[in-house]
């Protein structure tokens, strides 16, 4: 693999991360053994995937413990043996009473209070009577000893089933746009002007279907997902007909 040069829009942390991921790929290819990253958020995994594709690395997969995970590990498997039995994380199930209702913030705060780095924790899925937290194995003993989340008493088990995953909640936004360009759709999602949306895209980049883009005129199709760091994740859930002024009716889901 050639030496990777990160674009100038990347931060120093981005460059360090991408170089680390490429180094993991080299180690895995050289040794013939699986290698795993820590948990990455959507933006980080998209940046790393772009770098891996540029370097023609194709012996990797993304795994966060279940289909649709937002925080994932990059898993290198150069010999194609399969890595399901070697994954470096474990789903921890927290059980509690339905009336207690701890929040995602409660779980994250309690775990971070143990001085565990954020990259050791994957998705935190909070349901009515149980929550699932995907934990890197190096932090597993600390997390599995937790008996209180905020003021809520919990018990820990390891009987995770995908039926434990709570449904995704969202708010709906309906409006009209002049076109299905990214800057127009983003302006509706964030309730800001199209000019401001364009500035944000150019400055920060948007994850459009898990691909980072800085193109304000990129087309957004029905069912496409897009997210902007610090502003949340969205889906263009519906495209309707045209208004009398020839604007396009759209419906956007904002995930909670």
Q: pLDDT 10s digit of each residue in the chain, 256 long? A: 544 444 445 688 899 999 999 999 999 999 999 999 999 999 999 999 999 999 999 999 999 999 989 999 999 999 998 888 899 999 999 999 999 999 999 999 999 999 999 999 999 999 999 999 999 999 999 999 999 999 999 999 999 988 888 888 899 999 999 999 999 999 999 999 999 999 999 998 999 998 889 999 999 999 999 999 889 999 999 999 999 999 999 999 999 8
The CATH number of the structural domain formed by 170-255 is 3.10.290.10
The pLDDT assigned to 210 comes to 86
Predicted TM-score (pTM) of the model is 0.81
The pLDDT assigned to 1 comes to 52
Fold classification of 89-164 (topology level)? Alpha-Beta Plaits (3.30.70)
Tell me how far CA of residue 171 lies from CA of 96, 120, 180, 248, in angstroms. 27, 30, 20, 20
Nearest to 252 by CA among 229, 228, 221, 214: 221
**DSSP summary character for residue 139:** G
Nearest to 76 by CA among 60, 65, 54, 64: 60
Phi, psi of 190 (to 5 degrees): -95, -5
36 and 88 Cβ atoms separated by less than 8 Å: yes
The pLDDT assigned to 2 comes to 46
Domain residue limits, the chain: 12-86, 89-164, 170-255
The pLDDT assigned to 201 comes to 96
The CATH number of the structural domain formed by 12-86 is 3.30.1370.160
The pLDDT assigned to 11 comes to 80
The pLDDT assigned to 167 comes to 83
Nearest to 120 by CA among 136, 134, 99, 98: 136
The pLDDT assigned to 206 comes to 94
Distance CA 136, CA 142 (A): 11
* Sign of the CA dihedral running 81, 86, 88, 91: positive
The pLDDT assigned to 169 comes to 84
94 and 144 Cβ atoms separated by less than 8 Å: no
- For Cα atoms 91, 93, 99, give the angle at the middle one, nearest 5 degrees: 150
The pLDDT assigned to 166 comes to 83
């Amino acid at each position: 693999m050639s030496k990777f040069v990160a674009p100038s829009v990347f931060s120093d942390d981005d460059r360090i991360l991408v170089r680390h991921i490429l180094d993991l790929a080299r180690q895995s290819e050289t040794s013939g053994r699986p290698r795993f990253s820590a948990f990455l958020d959507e933006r980080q995994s998209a940046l790393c995937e772009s770098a891996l594709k540029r370097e023609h690395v194709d012996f990797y997969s993304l795994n966060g413990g279940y289909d649709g995970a937002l925080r994932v590990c990059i898993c290198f498997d150069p010999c194609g043996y399969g890595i399901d039995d070697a994954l470096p994380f474990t789903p921890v199930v927290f059980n509690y009473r339905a009336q207690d209702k701890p929040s995602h913030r409660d779980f994250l705060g309690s775990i971070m209070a143990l001085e565990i780095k954020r990259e050791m924790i994957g998705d935190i899925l909070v349901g009515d009577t149980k929550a699932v937290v995907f934990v890197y194995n190096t932090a597993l003993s600390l997390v599995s000893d937790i008996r209180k989340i905020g003021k809520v008493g919990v018990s820990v088990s390891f009987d995770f089933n995908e039926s434990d995953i709570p449904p995704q909640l969202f708010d709906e936004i309906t409006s009209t746009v002049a076109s299905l360009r990214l800057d127009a759709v983003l302006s509706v999602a964030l309730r800001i002007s199209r000019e401001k949306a364009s500035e944000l895209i150019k400055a920060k980049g948007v994850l459009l279907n898990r691909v980072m883009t800085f193109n304000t005129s990129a087309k957004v199709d029905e069912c496409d997902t897009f997210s902007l760091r610090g502003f949340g994740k969205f889906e263009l859930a519906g495209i309707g007909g045209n208004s009398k002024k020839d604007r396009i009716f759209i419906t956007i889901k904002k995930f909670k």
